[in-house]
């Protein structure tokens, strides 16, 4: 099993001081608020969706929230050598998977349907702003992986959650709002981004068990 990339391990240096961690959490709070506002005013919006589907519908704010929670849990541990509990490892696994998946998915969805954004009102934000912010999800995933870990079974749970997520997105029509209808290319890209997210989490997150899957 290859170790996590060196640059992922070094990313923890960006969280060395309380000020650095506080800045990340403030940025996360702002990002979550912006994301919730987006889904509150989209079509369909949060008002059109049953409350129990919110975690799967508003998936980008959820991804950022999982990353922020992982950092907060890491702060609460007694030391960097303390092995994370299984729930803490599951949280960090889900955080990395969701951040990578939503970052890659959003870039892919914009690339597939870029023509739908031509001439759109506020195209600077609707396309380029969303593209830039979701690319940063990958950086957040690296930061999260630097303070997280996986344990046996956490990737399997994440894979099941991704399967449910994709079924809800395209089976119930709760995919993130886009200015074009879902296409086979979009659905195929979604499945590929889910598989990639699992592979990245397996690579980037250190295994806290002797044999983690």
For residue 14, is it within any domain? yes
Sign of CA dihedral 19, 22, 26, 31: positive
The pTM score is 0.90
For residue 176, is it within any domain? yes
Residue 3: pLDDT band with limits 50, 70, 90: low
| 176 or 155: which leads in pLDDT | 155
Q: Residue 78: which domain range?
A: 6-204
For residue 147, is it within any domain? yes
For residue 212, is it within any domain? no
For residue 126, is it within any domain? yes
150 C-beta neighbours (distance < 10 Å), count? 26
Instruction: Evaluate whether 88 touches 153 at the Cβ level (below 8 Å).
Output: no
pLDDT at residue 1 is higher than 80: no
| Residue-level pLDDT at 92 | 96
pLDDT at residue 211 is higher than 50: no
First to last CA, the chain: 11
| Residue-level pLDDT at 212 | 47
For residue 211, is it within any domain? no
| Residue-level pLDDT at 191 | 95
| Residue-level pLDDT at 10 | 77
Domain count, the chain: 1
| Residue-level pLDDT at 99 | 98
For residue 210, is it within any domain? no
């Amino acid at each position: 099993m290859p170790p996590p990339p060196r640059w992922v391990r070094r990313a923890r240096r960006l969280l060395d001081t309380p000020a650095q961690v506080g800045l990340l959490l403030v940025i996360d709070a702002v990002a979550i608020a912006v994301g919730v506002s987006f889904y509150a005013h989209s079509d369909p919006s949060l008002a059109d969706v049953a409350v129990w589907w919110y975690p799967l519908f508003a998936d980008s704010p959820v991804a950022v929230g999982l990353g922020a929670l992982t950092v907060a849990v890491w702060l609460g541990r007694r030391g960097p050598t303390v092995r994370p509990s299984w729930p803490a490892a599951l949280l960090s696994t889900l955080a990395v998977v969701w951040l990578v998946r939503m970052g890659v998915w959003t870039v892919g969805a914009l690339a597939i349907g870029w023509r739908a954004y031509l001439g759109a009102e506020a195209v600077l934000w609707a396309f380029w702003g969303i593209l830039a912010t979701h690319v940063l999800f990958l950086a957040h995933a690296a930061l999260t992986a630097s303070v997280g870990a996986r344990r046996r079974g956490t990737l399997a749970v994440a894979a099941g959650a991704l399967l449910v997520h994709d079924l809800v997105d395209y089976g119930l029509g709760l995919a993130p709002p886009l200015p074009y209808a879902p296409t086979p290319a979009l659905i195929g890209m979604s499945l590929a981004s889910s598989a990639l997210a699992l592979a990245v989490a397996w690579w980037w997150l250190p295994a806290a068990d002797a044999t983690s899957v």
